[in-house]
Amino acid sequence: MIVLMLGLGPAWAMAHGTGQHVLGTVVVIDATHIEVKTQKGASVSVNLTDKTTFSSKMLKRPSGRPEAGDRVVIEVMTEGNVITATEVQYSSPKPKGTK
Amino acid sequence: MRSKFVTFIVISFLILIGLIGWLGYQSFSTGFSAKAEPHWLEVFFARQLRYLAIPLENRNLRNPVPLTHDSLKEARAHFADHCAVCHGNSGDGQTPIGRNVYPKSPDLRLADTQDMSDGELFFIIQNGIRFTAMPGWGTGDPSKDTDSWKLVHFIRHLPRLTQEELEEMKTLNPKTKIESEEEAAFERFLQGDDASVPGAPIHRH
C-alpha cells in the first residue's frame, strides 16, 4: 500500500506559483478577468474567480469591485502562463501632483 | 483444480510485479514533489489513519469553553498570529506555504473539516498530524488548553467570517521587515504615489 501511495502521487502533479503581485491601473474588468496597465506601460491580464476577494479602504462601490481607471494591487498565483487573482485591493486616487 | 490454482497465483504474482514496476517507473521518471496533489486513494487512507489516530475518548470531547464575543475575538487574533501563515485568514489555505506543502492546507470552511467533532479539531490542534505540515501546539499545560478550545470555536465560525473581521486579522498577521515595507509601498501606490511602484509588473515575494 505504501508503494501504491508513494507511486501514484507524482502522476497527478500540479504546478503552483508563489505569492506575487500585479500593480497598475484597471483598463478593462468583467466577471472573469481584469486587464491592468502597469506604470511602465505593460498590459497584464489576470483571471478572476469566485474565490477572488475585493477590498478597498477608500471606496465603497455597490458592486464591491474596481472599475476602469482605478488603481489596483492584485495578489496573484500563476500556473504556467495563467495568472489568477486571489485578492484585489483597489482605490481611485488622483496621482500626486495633479489637481 | 490444483494446476488452475497455481496458474492463478502465478498470473496474480506477475500482475503484481508489473504493477510495482509501473509504479516504480512512474516514481523514478517523475520524482516526488510537495507540489503534487495527493491521489484520492492516498487521501482516503490518510483520512482513515487520521481518524484512527484520535482516541475515542478525545473524539467525543465537547468544547468546555463558552462561545462568547470575547472568546471568539481572542481566537481570531490567535489564529491570525499563529495559524494564518499556512491556513490563510479566511481558512481557505491559499497561502504561499499552504499551497505548496504536502498535503495542501485544507479549506477549513468546507465539510471535510466542519463535519469533524469539537474533540477531533482540538486533538489535531494539540497534537498535529503526522506526515503533514500540521504541528502539534499542545504544551501539556491544561491552563493553555483553553486557547485551543477557543480556536475550535473560531474554526466553526470561519464559514461566516465577515469582511470586517478579515480586515482586522490582516493587521494582526506577523510580518517580516520586507513584507511590512512591501505593504507600505502598496498602500502608498493605492493612495496615488507613483514612486512606490516596484520596477517589475509582477513582484515576487
Q: Which of B109, B175, B191 to mutate to test the interface with A (most CBs of A within 10 A)?
A: B191
Say whether pLDDT at A22 is over 80: yes
Q: Is B38 part of the contact surface with chain A (CB cutoff 8 Å)?
A: yes
Say whether pLDDT at A7 is over 90: no
* pLDDT category of residue B198 using cuts at 50, 70 and 90: low
Q: What is the pTM of this model?
A: 0.67
Q: Is A60 part of the contact surface with chain B (CB cutoff 8 Å)?
A: no
Report ipTM (2 d.p.): 0.74
Contacts 24+ apart (CB under 8 A), B177-186: B179/B205, B182/A21, B186/A21, B186/A23, B186/A73, B186/A89
Residue A5 is predicted with a pLDDT of: 36
Give the gap in angstroms from C-alpha B164 to the nearest C-alpha of chain A: 10
pLDDT in tens, A51-64: 898 988 877 777 88
Strand pairing partners for A33? A47
Residue B197 is predicted with a pLDDT of: 62
> Chain B residues with CB inside 8 Å of A7's CB?
23-24, 26-27
Say whether pLDDT at B205 is over 60: no
Placement of cell 473524539 in the chain: B59
pLDDT in tens, B95-134: 889 988 999 999 999 999 999 999 999 999 999 999 999 9
Q: Where are the domains of chain B?
A: 38-174
- Calculate the average pLDDT of chain A: 77
Residue A16 is predicted with a pLDDT of: 34
* Contact between residue A22 and residue A56 where contact means Cβ atoms under 8 Å apart: no
Q: What's the Rg (C-alpha) of chain A? A: 18
CATH code of domain B38-174: 1.10.760
Q: Is A58 part of the contact surface with chain B (CB cutoff 8 Å)?
A: yes
- Calculate the average pLDDT of chain B: 89
What percentage of residues in chain B have a pLDDT greater than 90? Answer: 63
For residue A46, CA distances in Å to A35, A76, B162 come to: 6, 8, 25
Cell of B111: 465539510
Q: Is B164 part of the contact surface with chain A (CB cutoff 8 Å)?
A: no
pLDDT in tens, B136-160: 999 888 777 899 999 999 999 999 9
